[in-house]
Amino acid sequence: RVQSPADRLLIVRANSPLEYPAQGVEVRPLQTVLVPGCPGVSQAWPPWVSCPPPPQVNLTATMGTLAVAAVVEGVELQGEGQPRLSLAAAHLDHLNRQLQFVTYTNTLFHPDTADIVQFSTDGHDAAFAIRIRHPPTPRLYGPGPAGYNITALVTIATKTFLRYDKLRGLIASIRRFYPSVTIVVADDSQRPEPLQGPHLEHYLMPFGKGWFAGRNLAVSQVTTKYVLWVDDDFIFTPRTRLEKLVDVLEKTSLDLVGGAVREITGYTTTYRQRLSVRGGGAGGDCLRTRPGFHHRLAGFPACVVTDGVVNFFLARTDKVRQVGFDPRLRRVAHL
């Protein structure tokens, strides 16, 4: 569901006259893979040439060796088990059949890189990439009973500093609607006050460590698929429906969905912000923000796709950890 189109296997059909995999070939470090896509060669000589030379192709790798998994009769191989493999045959169909059994073995270890394999025949050259990496380890979470079990799917995280009256109001409002959801609190107050209650985790930090450092700490303790971030002065209302946020992430490839926050004055904001980067000089580039969104989200007519959201958002826990928060941003840690 979260694969990129860049991971898909693409085959360039013979029109050069080489046919080869353009992308999508992948091998684990120091392992072997059969090169897919049936690499092949089409007739490259004009019909008036009565005696074309025997077809021959060369494949050259830089981080591994090339070989064949099976030998086709009538095909001559040179350099099998070496970085450069040459194949020649009197008949083109024999050569193309042999190319279906070409294997690549990675010999130079790297946890995440690519080898560009050169593929050539009489006056025609091509290249394709074989990605070398350990495949991502899947992260599995218990879904709980049928439907969206918020307790099993969501952990609520917040960061507090001296505002225990506000924090206790937040916790009380959460418990009114989600009594068994885990709440994680990161606290860098100078004189911490005890927080007690079921499904509540209170983590103390050095005084004044900062908002983003607290975010990193809180998120590091989340064990559910999703994490909901809230400020410590928010409160939940009957209109706070985490199920709606979960539904968006379950049915799309998005990593984060923001909600709407209504202030005491009655003003409601979703803080839709578009971000763009303009190239700069020696002093660096310029980050520009402006209100707006890119487009509406298919299947969710009330939602739009944008770059910046308010500090009330549900996100995939693993994606938040990948990005993280800069702990040097202590107080002004928002746009």
Look up the CATH number of the domain holding residue 72. Answer: 2.60.40
Neighbouring C-beta atoms of residue 233, cutoff 10 Å: 13
pTM of the model: 0.76
Residues 199 and 107 in one domain: no
276 vs 290: CA distance, rounded Å: 9
- Cα separation, 240 vs 246, in Å, equals 12
In a domain? residue 140: no
Mind listing the pLDDT tens digit for each residue in 42-90?
654 444 333 345 578 899 999 999 999 999 999 999 999 999 999 999 8
| pLDDT over 80 at 15, yes or no | no
CB distance 272 to 297 below 8 Å? no
Percent of the chain with pLDDT over 90: 61
CB 245 within 8 A of CB 259: yes
Asked if the structure places residue 142 within a domain, the reply is no
Specify if 255 maps to a domain.
yes
Q: Which of 106, 133, 160 is the last residue of a domain?
A: 133
User: Residue 292 falls within a domain, yes or no?
Assistant: no
Count of structural domains within the chain? 2
* CA 14 – CA 291 distance, rounded (Å): 48
User: What are the tokens at 178?
Assistant: 């989600």
Q: How far apart are CA 60 and CA 3, in angstroms?
A: 29
pLDDT above 70: percentage of residues in the chain? 87
What integer pLDDT is reported at residue 83 of this predicted model?
97
CB of 276 closer than 8 Å to CB of 285: no
Q: Which domain holds residue 248?
A: 150-271+309-323
Which of helix, strand or coil describes residue 125? strand
Q: What is the CATH number of the domain that holds 215?
A: 3.90.550.10
Q: Do 280 and 234 meet the contact criterion of CB atoms below 8 Å apart? A: no
User: What does pLDDT average to over the chain?
Assistant: 87
Cα distance between residue 96 and residue 38, in whole Å: 8
Residues 114 and 182 in one domain: no
For residue range 107-159, list pLDDT tens digits in order. Answer: 999 999 999 999 888 778 888 899 999 988 887 777 666 678 899 999 999 99
The pLDDT value recorded for residue 146 is 66
Give 302's strand partners.
none
Instruction: Give residue 180's region: left, alpha or beta (phi > 0; psi -120 to 50).
Output: alpha
Residue 333 lies in a domain: no
Q: Is residue 125 part of a domain?
A: yes
State pLDDT tens for residues 256-296: 999 989 887 777 788 889 999 998 888 899 989 999 999 99
Residue 236 and residue 158 in contact, taking contact as beta carbons nearer than 8 Å: no
Whether residues 112 and 252 fall in one domain: no
β-strand pairing of 261-262 with 25-27? unpaired
Band of residue 91 on the pLDDT scale cut at 50, 70, 90: confident
Report how many helices (DSSP H) and strands (DSSP E) the chain contains, helices first: 6, 24
> Do 156 and 129 fall within a single domain?
no
How far apart (Å, rounded) are the C-alpha atoms in residues 97 and 107? 26
The identity of residue 278, as a single letter, is R
* Residues present in the chain in total: 335
Which secondary-structure segment (H or E) carries 150? helix 150-153
